[in-house]
Structure 1
Amino acid sequence: MHGRAVEAITGLLHRERLMSLALNRSDGWPQVTTVGYLNEGLNLYFIVARCSQKFANAERDPRASVAIRSESGPHGDAVGVSMSGRIREVLDPATIDRLNHQVAERYPEVHVYCPAGDAVAVLHFAPEIVSTVGVIDGRSQAQTFLIGEVPPVS
């Protein structure tokens, strides 16, 4: 993937706050939910309750897909990204602290309620396949990129 594509995608990820997250349920059917996220480049981080179906699904099968869309222009023009990758739990306290500071800096107007301790898990989504779609003047333009090995998260 060339630098301009990465820059455009990370710009979109940085502007938006919500993604649709698709995980495989134990019965094989997909489950899609909307979650807030924080990005570092193409890497996405989000919080889920440990007692949630999302957490159970991610623990059982770490493969996931996300979709993020942004509208722009007066005629409903839009850009979006769909990514497929894998989810891992972030366990390193220093990484979690760094992410908490980034959330506070990036979204100072948001008052985050987050149960403490073992009630929640911070998850990292590492993309492996990235597809971009632009809808301009009613026409879709799509591109797909494969990403190499993403460094592991502590």
Structure 2
Amino acid sequence: MDNVTRQKIQTLLDQHRTMRMATLRADGWPQVTTVGYANEGFTIYFLCGLDSQKAQNLSRDDRVSLAIDDDPAQVMEITGLSMAARARTLTDPAEIEKAIGLLMSRYPEQKAAGLSMPNPSEVRLIALTPTVISLLDYSKGFGHTDLVEC
């Protein structure tokens, strides 16, 4: 991956904080949900309920697909990311603390409103590692994507 592409991907990851993520249900159908996230480089962190459908899906199959983008006024201004990634539940206390810190810094209004991050024992913290990234940039042509294998 060249430095220009790497920087574009990093910029899109850093400027957003929600993604649409698909996991696979037990019956094989994809389930898409909107999830808040924080990232360090290309690693994406999020949390979910211990017994949520998402947590159950990921315990069976660690593959996810996700999309991060805007809703521009003009279709030819669409930019965003589409990724295939592998999910991993965090168990290392240092990594859990780092992920919580990243999530709290991405959502400062939570703290301002007096809300605190859930206790790590009450949620599942997940790290996503991309395997393939599609960088969408319609300014280069309708539907243009640059495909990057990680």
Q: Per the shorter chain, which TM-score range?
A: 0.7 to 0.9
Q: Which has the higher helix share?
A: 2
**Secondary structure at 1:4 match in 2:** helix
8 Å Cα contact 1:71/1:79 also seen in 2: no
8 Å Cα contact 2:46/2:103 also seen in 1: no
Structure 2 counterpart of 1:136, one-letter code: S
Q: Which has the higher strand share?
A: 1
**Secondary structure at 2:14 match in 1:** helix
**Secondary structure at 2:12 match in 1:** helix
TM-score, structure 1 length as denominator? 0.86
Corresponding position: 1:42 with 2:42: yes
Output the CA distance in 2 between the equivalents of 1:24 and 1:69. 22
Q: Which residue of 2 aligns with 1:127?
A: 130
Q: Which residue of 2 aligns with 1:105?
A: 105
Using the aligned pairs only, state the percent identity: 36
Output the CA distance in 2 between the equivalents of 1:105 and 1:69. 20
**Secondary structure at 1:58 match in 2:** helix
- The partner residue of 1:141 within 112, 123, 144 is 144
Q: How many residues align?
A: 146
Show the 5 A alignment for 1:1-154. Answer: 1-71=1-71, 75-76=74-75, 77-111=77-111, 112-136=115-139, 139-147=142-150
Alignment gaps of 5+ in structure 2: none
**Secondary structure at 1:109 match in 2:** helix
